[in-house]
Amino acid sequence: MGQAAFIRTWKRGAAQDLDTGSHVGLPLRDLGFRAGRGAGAIAARNALTHSRTLLVKNRMTRDPVAVPADATLGVALRLMREHRVRHLPVVEGGEVVGMLSDRDLRLAMPSPLGMESAEDVAAAEGTPVADVMARGAITAGPFDTVEDAAVRMRRHRVGSLPVVDATGALLGILTETDILQAFVEILTASGPSSRLEISLSDRPGELARAMRVIGEELMINVNSVMVTGRDAEGRKTAVVHLGTIDPREAIAALERTGARVGWPSLENDLRRMEGA
């Protein structure tokens, strides 16, 4: 995914109204969380008063649109279109019994585009959701971590998880978009930044030393930090966004400690490239 798409997603995500959990669809006005007014300011306020930690309950859409198991596909299709969603939890007797995706729906139609012909309409109005849904949904609990939920979605190749309480009642829905949003928040800085990569050996104190140089010696704010998994040589890479227009001092200080640093990345360091 390109950087531009990242930024777009980031901004849209930052304007999510966290009180209701619904996407209000307003782009963030000023970049970064200390926005002046408008949607950005609302997002900033919400970000301060609501937990954004990586628990499913903090990342899901609450009170999602759901469909009864005995409703027709026509009802389901209208719900998806009206609410602009691609996944509907299917409920019966107060419990989640399945999931219906827009793909399930399309595949159930006689024509490939769906609802284009009279034949499609008849099929949609005559088929109950229960006949087409994926039965026995893969679910998440509200206190599951987002990383667990993401792994489960990958393992079962599903695009969303209904979030249920101990009785199986529907609390919310977590979709790929929510996971991507969490990922974007981790990957991108929450404000104007310079990006660096620092190569670390996988042992205690490596990351701490780099952060101490940046944060304590130079008093530069670390807007975000992410550490990748081990590479073939057993080293990790810290991707850091520093709140400075001039990262030269930080790079020099890190390199004095023996660290290998890339600006903006180890494999694409502009200081070494000279356009070659």
Partner 1 sequence: MSAVRTALVWDPAVTAYRFRPDHPFNPKRLDLSVSLMEAMGLLEAEHVGIVPPRRATDEELLRVHTPEYVRAVRRFSEPGARAIEGWPWGLGTDDTPLFPGMHDVTALVTGATLRAAELVMSGEYTRSFNIAGGLHHAHRDRGSGFCVYSDLAAAIAWIREAHGARVMYIDYDAHHGDGVQGIFYDDPEVLTLSIHESGRYLFPGTGFVDELGEGEGYGYSLNVPLEPFTEDDSWIGLYERLLPDIADAFRPDVIVLQNGCDGHTYDPLTHLRATTRLYEETVRITCEVADRHCGGRVVATGGGGYAVWTAVPRAWTLVWAALSGQRAPDVIPHAWNDRWQGESPDLLPERLRDPAGLFPPVPRRAEIEATNRRTVESLRRQALPLLRGWGLGF
Where along the sequence are the contacts to partner 1 (CB under 8 A)?
Answer: 3-5, 7-8, 26-27, 29-32, 34-38, 188-189, 191-195, 218-221, 241, 243-249, 264, 270, 273-276
CB 206, min distance to partner 1, A: 23
Could you list the beta-strand ranges (E) of 8-107: 61-62, 67-68, 87-92, 95-101
Q: In sequence order, which residues have a C-beta less than 8 Å from that of residue 7 and are 6 or more positions away?
A: 188
CB 250, min distance to partner 1, A: 9
Between residues 147 and 246, which has the closer beta carbon with respect to partner 1? 246
Cα torsion 158, 159, 165, 168 to 10°: value is -50
CB 276, min distance to partner 1, A: 5
Burial degree of 91 (CB within 10 A; 0-12, 13-18, 19+): buried
Between residues 175 and 224, which has the closer beta carbon with respect to partner 1? 224
Between residues 117 and 268, which has the closer beta carbon with respect to partner 1? 268
> Could you count the other beta carbons within 10 Å of the beta carbon of residue 18?
17
In eight-state DSSP terms, residue 29 is S
* Residues in the chain, overall count: 276
CB 210, min distance to partner 1, A: 16
Between residues 32 and 168, which has the closer beta carbon with respect to partner 1? 32
Q: In sequence order, which residues have a C-beta less than 8 Å from that of residue 250 and are 6 or more positions away?
A: 196, 213, 214, 218, 220, 242, 244
Q: Which two tokens stand for residue 255?
A: 């390199």
Between residues 118 and 245, which has the closer beta carbon with respect to partner 1? 245
Q: Which two tokens stand for residue 248?
A: 């030269």
Separation between Cα atoms, residue 185 and residue 51, nearest integer Å: 13
CB 124, min distance to partner 1, A: 32
Longest CA–CA span in the chain (Å) reads 73
* φ/ψ of residue 172, rounded to 5: -175, -175
CB 6, min distance to partner 1, A: 9
CB 257, min distance to partner 1, A: 18
Separation between Cα atoms, residue 158 and residue 175, nearest integer Å: 9
CB 42, min distance to partner 1, A: 14
Between residues 12 and 87, which has the closer beta carbon with respect to partner 1? 12
Q: Which helix (H) or strand (E) holds 73?
A: helix 73-83
Between residues 226 and 270, which has the closer beta carbon with respect to partner 1? 270
Between residues 36 and 204, which has the closer beta carbon with respect to partner 1? 36
Separation between Cα atoms, residue 182 and residue 74, nearest integer Å: 33
